[in-house]
């Protein structure tokens, strides 16, 4: 089997315009579901999968995101003096060891493929790597990336997370062209980015988790040389297939929330609120009352 996957790239350079005015002053990635920022869900998932080094591809105005993972010495000291040990433990879970995180700037918004390519110098030439998109929050047990790592250890090659989406939404995604359907795992014979309605090869959409062979980065190098407009990660993965290397999709077990959209963010807030022992009874009662009033009004 190939090398262990220990590094993950988090492309977080986007402006988050769909969440203005909130994102005028804070990065979208630290908007919170209940009391935990989107980025923390992604980091926790990566840690559970055995990731040891975290590479953030950022842009101007993301200082608060970088600060989030630092030790907050005054706050920790205050909590310690107040005897708030539980909160102190919660806070410590957000700290990252010195050197575990690297920040790379993406100076121009040239697409997801370009964002991943920006991290090339922090990877060895023969090193597979993960990519995690923080907009996709996945509630799964075990966490989605861990499911993928376990499957990847059997298959090798490259692997994307995938799920069936309704036909009318397919054109918003990268889509797999399936060569062989083995149940949880599918072997791809092609990938199409945002196919026009009616042209999609399947309803299996690519979701924001990837385990990529080192040759994918080499493919991005080639795309970089003649790049006009956005550089798509999908194209670099499709090149793997064209060159005879394996690309698989994993139908992960769990629920995915598209927190890049307001509706998805609200749905995730409800789902995670109802998971919380300290909130679920009061929150469920409130939701039940709201729905009862809506039904009465109809």
Averaged pLDDT, 248-267: 94
Same domain (yes/no): 235, 295? no
In a domain, 2, yes or no: no
Is residue 88 domain-shared with residue 140, that is, in the same domain? yes
Domain membership flag for residue 223: yes
Number of domains comprising the chain: 2
In this structure, is residue 108 part of a structural domain? Answer: yes
> Is there a domain that residue 275 lies in?
yes
Residues 247 and 191 in one domain: yes
pLDDT tens digits, residue range 191-205?
888 888 778 888 899
Rounded distance, CA 109 to CA 115, Å? Answer: 8
Place of tokens 């980025």: 39
Residue 173 and residue 34 in one domain = yes
Domain that holds residue 149: 7-260
- 83 confidence band (pLDDT: 50, 70, 90): confident
- Do 26 and 132 lie in a common domain? yes
Which residues make Cβ contacts (< 8 Å) with residue 144, sequence separation at least 6?
Answer: 45, 138, 161, 209, 252, 254, 256
Share of the chain above pLDDT 70, in %: 97
Tell me the CATH number at 101: 3.90.550.10
Q: Is 246 in the same domain as 295?
A: no
Q: Does residue 1 fall inside a structural domain? A: no
252 in Cβ contact with 147 (< 8 Å): yes
Same domain for 145 and 115:
yes
Asked if residues 230 and 111 have their Cβ atoms less than 8 Å apart, the reply is yes
Of the candidates 172, 182, 200, the one whose C-alpha atom is nearest the C-alpha of residue 258 is 172
Between CA 78 and CA 81 the distance in angstroms is: 5
Does residue 58 lie in a domain region?
A: yes
78 CA to centre of own chain: 33
Model pLDDT for residues 147-185, shown as the tens digit of each residue: 999 999 989 899 999 999 988 888 888 889 888 888 899
Is the same domain home to 186 and 295? no
Q: Is the pLDDT of residue 7 over 90?
A: yes
pLDDT tens per residue across span 203-230 = 899 999 999 999 999 998 887 654 456 7
pLDDT exceeds 70 at position 39: yes
Q: Are residues 271 and 164 in the same domain?
A: no
In a domain, 297, yes or no: yes
Do residues 137 and 157 both lie within one domain? yes
Within the chain, strands assigned E span 7-11, 32-33, 36-37, 53-58, 101-105, 129-132, 136-139, 158-164, 174-181, 185-193, 204-212, 247-251, 255-258
Could you tell me if 212 and 273 lie in one domain? no
Q: Are residues 133 and 278 in the same domain?
A: no
Q: Report if residue 133 sits inside a domain.
A: yes
């Amino acid at each position: 089997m190939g090398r262990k996957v220990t590094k993950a790239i988090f492309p977080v350079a986007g402006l988050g315009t769909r969440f203005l005015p909130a994102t005028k002053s804070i990065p979208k990635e630290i908007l919170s579901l209940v009391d935990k920022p989107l980025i923390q869900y992604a980091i926790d998932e990566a840690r559970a999968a055995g990731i040891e080094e975290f590479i953030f591809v950022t842009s101007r105005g993301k200082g608060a995101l970088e600060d989030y993972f630092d030790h907050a010495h005054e706050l920790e000291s205050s909590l310690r003096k107040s005897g708030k040990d539980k909160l102190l433990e919660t806070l410590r879970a957000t700290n990252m060891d010195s050197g575990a995180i690297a920040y790379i700037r993406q100076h121009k918004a040239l697409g997801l493929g370009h964002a991943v390519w920006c991290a090339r110098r922090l990877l060895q030439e023969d090193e597979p790597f993960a990519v995690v998109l923080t907009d996709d929050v996945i509630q799964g047990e075990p966490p989605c990336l861990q499911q993928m790592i376990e499957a990847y250890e059997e298959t090798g090659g490259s692997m994307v997370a995938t799920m069936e989406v309704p036909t009318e939404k397919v054109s918003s995604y990268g889509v797999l062209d399936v060569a062989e359907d083995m149940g949880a795992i599918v072997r791809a014979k092609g990938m199409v980015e945002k196919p026009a309605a009616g042209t999609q090869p399947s309803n299996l959409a690519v979701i924001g988790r990837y385990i990529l062979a080192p040759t994918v980065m080499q493919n991005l190098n080639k795309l970089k040389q003649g790049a006009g407009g956005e550089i798509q990660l999908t194209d670099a993965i499709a090149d793997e297939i064209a060159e005879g290397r394996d690309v698989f999709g994993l139908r992960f077990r769990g629920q995915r929330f598209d927190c890049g959209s307001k509706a998805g963010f609200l749905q995730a807030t409800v789902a995670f609120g109802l998971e919380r022992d300290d909130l679920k009874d009061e929150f469920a009662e409130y939701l039940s009352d709201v729905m009862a009033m809506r039904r009465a009004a109809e």
